[in-house]
Amino acid sequence: MAPSRNRRPGFSRRAQYGLFLGYVIAVAGSLVGAVLLALATLDPPAFAALRASMAEVTTPVSSGIAGVGRGIASVPSSIGSYVAVRDKNVALQKQLDDIHAMLMRARSLSYENRRLKSLLHMREYIAGPVVAARLVSSSAASTRRYAVLNAGSWQGVRVGQPVRGPEGLIGRILETGPNSSRVLLLSDPESIVPVRRTRDGLPALAAGRGDGLLDIRSAASAAIAFEPGDVFVTSGAGGIYSPNVPVAQVIRRSRDIALARTYAQPDTLDFALVQQAFMPPEPPAPAPPSKSAPAP
């Protein structure tokens, strides 16, 4: 028998109240969505303040959910480590030996670098860290790429400060609240970072694409060849990002514009370091002209 077209809940009070409550919730949700859309279009500063307030409310919940998720996700890896403990110990011992050899090589290079710098009387300005905080969430499905940091203005975080992780640069602070802040990631379309190629010092610009990757464009001249594996670090130009911080690596051969992958992946990071904005050294003041002795 075909179902009846009559949608009335009958004489049940509970069914009638449930249907009425469903309609009320749907209408209220539509009204709230329309008000938020109008507020974001007509008054962006007020919408930003409302969004910051919501972030203050949801950041503790996100932190708790992220902790529970990390605990649940670590159970399979713990079981696998327990089963394959012998093979893993052998691999870790080999990795430790390789790291020890790299450490010895890095110490010798660091000593030679310090000696050359002392000979050239160079001064290096390094932006000091502000705070180390946890990345509680990051956008992965939208064209706009943001992350939420559980530190804000009460911890000394300011708009425009760079954010980096153990692997390299993550982005910069876009908005701050008392105990949370939003980070503009490198892969966001609004992000542009001055960089240079490590093998020849080629100046370039790293621009976000919105899909998790970067476009590398040469800032010196056109028709520049990019090779897979080319590494780009911050150049220090612009006064925001300190120099020599790893940014991205080219993934395929191209000319003029190269496709690159960022070193730091926010969705795999737990903690990030907020630094002071870098200020390049001022040029030396010109020496005053020497006064010549008056003729007798």
Same domain membership, residue 223 and residue 137: yes
Q: Are residues 39 and 97 in the same domain?
A: no
Q: Kindly state whether residues 135 and 113 are assigned to the same domain.
A: no
Tens-place pLDDT, residues 37-63: 776 777 777 767 777 777 777 777 777
Same domain, 163 and 55: no
Task: Find how far residue 296's CA is from the centre of its chain.
Answer: 70
| 267 falls within a domain | yes
- Tell me the per-residue pLDDT of 104-142, one tens digit each, with 9 for 90 and over: 788 777 766 664 554 444 334 444 678 888 888 777 666
Q: Global pTM?
A: 0.54
Check if the beta carbon of residue 268 is closer than 8 Å to that of residue 147: no
Tens-place pLDDT, residues 162-209: 998 878 898 999 999 888 899 999 989 899 999 999 988 889 999 998
- For residues 161 and 269, state if they share a domain: yes
Instruction: Provide the domain limits for residue 57.
Output: 15-74
The total number of structural domains that make up the chain: 3
Asked if pLDDT for residue 17 goes beyond 80, the answer is: no
Does residue 68 sit in the same domain as residue 99? no
Co-location of 177 and 59 in the same domain: no
Label residue 143 by pLDDT band (50, 70, 90). Answer: confident
- Predicted confidence band of residue 285 (pLDDT cuts 50, 70, 90): low
| Confidence (pLDDT) at 16 | 76
Residue 227 and residue 182 share a domain: yes
- If asked whether residues 27 and 138 sit together in one domain, one would say no
Query: In this structure, are 107 and 185 located in the same domain?
Result: no
